[in-house]
Structure formats: structure tokens, C-alpha cells
């Protein structure tokens, strides 16, 4: 899933760890599953990533559905 790459990129840019992401998304297991491409993002995860990391909601949604930017 492209969303895992996108999240990892923003984590690296902001020097965040998995622990930091767990604080944002609320639990260890979902973070591991998203980063390991075993789980997609939920609406709540998208909201949190947008608010805390500044990732565009549009980009996150497109990454889930595999859509290209307009």
C-alpha cells in the first residue's frame, strides 16, 4: 500500500519513531500493521495523520484507493 510509504516518508522527514506514531494513532498493533502494509488507514487514522503530521487528506485517501492526483 502506498499509504505505508507515505507515512514512513513523513515520519522520516519529521524524525518520528514508531512510538511517536503510536501516540498519534493510539495503539501499537494498528501502527505495525499499517507500516507493514497489512492494514489500510481508517478514517480516524487519516484524520489524525492529517492533523498531527500535516499530510493532505486528499493524498491519504488517494493512496488508499490507488487513485492518481488530478
49 closest CA partner among 6, 13, 1: 6
What pLDDT score was predicted for residue 26?
Answer: 87
| Domain locations along the chain | 2-65
Q: 63 with 2: CB under 8 angstroms?
A: yes
CATH superfamily of 2-65: lambda repressor-like DNA-binding domains (1.10.260.40)
Mean pLDDT of 6-11: 92
What pLDDT score was predicted for residue 66?
Answer: 63
What pLDDT score was predicted for residue 3?
Answer: 82
CB count, 10 Å around CB of 40? 15
Residue 40 neighbours by CB under 8 Å, 6+ apart: 1, 3, 34, 64
What pLDDT score was predicted for residue 2?
Answer: 78
- Regarding predicted confidence, which is higher, 22 or 63? 22
Mean pLDDT of 9-23: 95
Amino acid at each position: 500500500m502506498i499509504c505505508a510509504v507515505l507515512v514512513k516518508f513523513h515520519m522520516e522527514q519529521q524524525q518520528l519513531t514508531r512510538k511517536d506514531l503510536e501516540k498519534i494513532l493510539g495503539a501499537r498493533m494498528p501502527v505495525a500493521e499499517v507500516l507493514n502494509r497489512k492494514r489500510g488507514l481508517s478514517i480516524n487514522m487519516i484524520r489524525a495523520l492529517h492533523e498531527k503530521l500535516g499530510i493532505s487528506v486528499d493524498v491519504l485517501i488517494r493512496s488508499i484507493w490507488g487513485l492518481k492526483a488530478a
